[in-house]
Amino acid sequence: MILETLIVGPLEVNCYLMAYAPGRDALVIDPGDDGERILERIHENNLSLKYILNTHGHFDHVGANRKLKEATGADILIHEKDAPLLTIAGEQARSFGLTADDSPPADRFLNHRDRIELGGICLQVIATPGHSGGGICLLMEDLLFTGDTLFAGSIGRTDLPGSSFRQIMVSIQEMILPLGDHLKIYPGHGPGSTIGKEKRTNPFLLSPGSREIG
């Protein structure tokens, strides 16, 4: 299987390119910027991009949606609650002193427990609101793409419009941690980890207050 991590944009988002094998259909998770570089990797592997998956609607995770969709015709998939953010990505970026292209609207809304199947790949959608109202994680066998919900040693910001510390902690405790300590975490920023390691070392999961939320 092809699983490549491309670190894109000024906020260094982890963009994931996936396909069962070279020459097959592909999907990309969180193409936040550097669309030309993503397209180069798609072409170098002779892939056909079918799906653009956004774990949430913030500009740094959707900024290359337009370029990829215009180049490939791939469908954009996102949770319905974050879909309105797609078309104001540029406005979001300007509030941080940055630039981004607005994304085209979603072609398909994702809901909790939906499955995304593509050429031997099967991802299950797990709704994890908190960093944003429509944040999701994507589960594939022993891999979990956590977007900006859970990082190695941290969690997603909850000081943004539509975010909630209580909600993100409930999402992590109820939807992510029970999946199993062995699960590998592929986050939206920074290095990977495992659920077991985060249980042991993540300060947000070790604090007494985190155990009282729910």
Please report, rounded to a whole number, the percentage of residues in the chain having pLDDT higher than 70: 97
For the stretch 19-75, pLDDT in tens is: 999 999 999 999 999 999 999 999 999 999 999 999 999 999 999 999 999 999 999
Report pTM. 0.95
% of the chain at pLDDT higher than 90: 96
Mean pLDDT in residue range 110-122: 96
Q: Give the tens place of pLDDT for each residue, 185-213.
A: 999 999 999 999 999 999 999 975 554 44
Nearest to 189 by CA among 40, 22, 32: 32
Burial of 119 (0-12, 13-18, 19+ CB in 10 A): middle
Q: What is the CATH number of domain 2-211?
A: 3.60.15.10
Q: Which two tokens stand for residue 60?
A: 């740094």
Q: What is the C-alpha to C-alpha distance for residues 80 and 57, in angstroms, rounded to an integer?
A: 10
- Listed by start position, the domains of the chain span 2-211
The continuous run of DSSP H or E covering 197 comes out as helix 195-201
Q: Residue 207: what pLDDT?
A: 74
Which pLDDT belongs to residue 209? 58
Does 91 have pLDDT greater than 80?
A: yes
d(CA 62, CA 103): 7
Predicted local confidence at residue 212, as pLDDT: 47
Band of pLDDT at residue 114, cut at 50, 70 and 90: very high
